[in-house]
Amino acid sequence: MTRKPIIGIIDVTAHLYREKLPAFIEEIEKKYREIIQKSFVFADIINFSIAYERQMVEHCYERMIQAGVDGIVIMFPSYSPSMIIAPVLKKSKLPILLWNTQHLFEITRSFSSKDMMNNHGMHGIQDLACVLLREKVPFSIITGHHLQKDTLLNLENWCKCAVVYSDLKKLKVGRIGGKFKDMGDFSIPDSTVKEFFGTEIIDIEMSDLDEEAKNIPVCEIEKIMEDEEDRFVIEIDAETRENSARLERALRNLIKKYELGALAINFMAFRGKSFCRAIPFSVISKFISEGMGYGGEGDVVCAISVWIFQKLAGQATFTEMFTTDYKNNRIFMSHMGENNPLMAKNPSGIRLVEKDMSITQTGTKTGMFLFQMNPGDVTLFNLAPCKDEKFSIIVTTGSIEDEQLLPEINAPHFLFQIKKDVREFLNSYSYAGGTHHLAMAYGDHIEILRMFARISQSQFVKI
């Protein structure tokens, strides 16, 4: 979930109107105050008197920056020339929305010259949009009336995107174990991530995690294990559970210490030694269910995408495509041991089971959760590095099949039903540069991700 947006609203008019028709300005300003009050109930609004000179727009903008707004909405109660606004917006790094609206909802046979005068802001929008586009100033547009519910939903979603984009600049991702060797799709310089998103990447040494785990009191370990007994079906030995519980407390301490909102963990760094014997998949799954971002194999970019989707969709998880069902246009989705327990079809039947981790060190094992995923429509979201140190947001929709877990698969998994020929989908996905780690959420979130792509200046690809 996201916090309440702080939104600055600048409404503008022409100096000519202010000079020659002061009563007209007072009338439309009053009407627009009512529109703003009704339309932005989901946000804290900062708004000043209607502006008709560049200095006034500049003053409004500076006060909004001081107030820490997440985004700025420009409204046109009447026409206003673009050049009192564009020079101010050109220097802004905040998300900008042009709301193309008016007070009148319908044109009838009684439409008058006064009605036309009171509802003619759209060519101000067109004037400004043309200039911003020419000057390469990023912006969004929403056209619609405050009586239209979908318009209000679009406004709310845009403001939510502005909040997430603002908080993304403050996000800290903890990376443990570095990047998986030679895994290239997400292996980009940390500086690229920092420059594009503002996100800070903090490398945590295995020795630091080991030291933290070593000093966890037995009572805290026991408390975690007791909580698991109340919530899950335990099918794992006490020693493995204890190791996972110890690492859970240690990781929580480091999350608090570094103020982390996401984790990117490379399982290959857990070599069966000391207090970091194996990557604790069950613990990671708990963190995902609590709203954290996550990327496997040290994938910071995917960790960011899961964090974004947690905020925009309210709940998300980490996943990966593995095997194609050509006959039924399905994809077998899985990963080593991470998933979101909140997505279980039967929450009371979540099993805590053993996962062999001999792939990292012979004889080591860890705990993970196994459960059937709740069936339903979902959105897949991939954040992909692309050329020129930019990013693409690649999205598609489909559904999770109502299928029981496959008895021979000891890892979280489900079948993703594609709405088109799976061959065309996979070709399009790779042509778009999609990476092999994804975020997933229930529901159709295509449009809000499209909004976020525009705000974050990412390329948007819908498959």
Give pLDDT tens digits for 440-449: 999 999 999 9
Domain boundary among 109, 142, 168: 168
First and final C-alpha spacing in the chain: 26
In angstroms, the CA 447 to CA 453 distance is: 10
323 plus 444 within the same structural domain: yes
* Order of strands, sheet of 293-296, starting from the edge strand that comes earlier in the sequence: 200-204, 172-176, 262-265, 293-296
420 plus 322 within the same structural domain: yes
Considering all CA atoms of the chain, what is the largest pairwise distance in Å, rounded to the nearest integer? Answer: 85
Q: Which is nearest to 262 in space by CA: 285, 308, 216, 294?
A: 294
> Could you report the per-residue pLDDT of 34-65, keeping only the tens digit for each?
999 999 999 999 999 999 999 999 999 999 99
Q: What is the CATH number of the domain that holds 113?
A: 3.40.50.10940
pLDDT at 164: 98
Is 1 inside any structural domain? no
Reported confidence tier of residue 184, pLDDT bands at 50, 70, 90:
confident
> Could you report the per-residue pLDDT of 417-433, keeping only the tens digit for each?
998 999 999 999 999 99
pLDDT at 83: 96
> Could you report the per-residue pLDDT of 92-109, keeping only the tens digit for each?
999 999 999 999 999 999
156 plus 178 within the same structural domain: no
pLDDT, average across residues 146-162? 97
pLDDT, average across residues 132-160? 97
> 115-121 long-range CB contacts below 8 Å, 24 or more apart?
117/24, 117/78, 118/24, 118/27, 118/28, 118/31, 118/78, 120/78, 120/79, 121/75, 121/76, 121/77, 121/78, 121/79, 121/80
Domain boundary among 149, 168, 187: 168
Please determine, for residue 287, whether its predicted confidence score (pLDDT) is greater than 80. yes
140 plus 195 within the same structural domain: no
Domain boundary among 168, 202, 217: 168
Q: What is the CATH number of the domain that holds 436?
A: 3.20.14
Is 153 inside any structural domain? yes
Is 290 inside any structural domain? yes
Is 281 inside any structural domain? yes
153 plus 196 within the same structural domain: no
Is 325 inside any structural domain? yes
Please determine, for residue 183, whether its predicted confidence score (pLDDT) is greater than 90. no
217 plus 240 within the same structural domain: yes
Please determine, for residue 1, whether its predicted confidence score (pLDDT) is greater than 80. no
Domain that holds residue 350: 172-462
182 plus 317 within the same structural domain: yes
77 plus 180 within the same structural domain: no
31 plus 64 within the same structural domain: yes
Reported confidence tier of residue 387, pLDDT bands at 50, 70, 90:
confident
153 plus 242 within the same structural domain: no
117 plus 47 within the same structural domain: yes
101 plus 121 within the same structural domain: yes
Tally the domains of the chain. 2
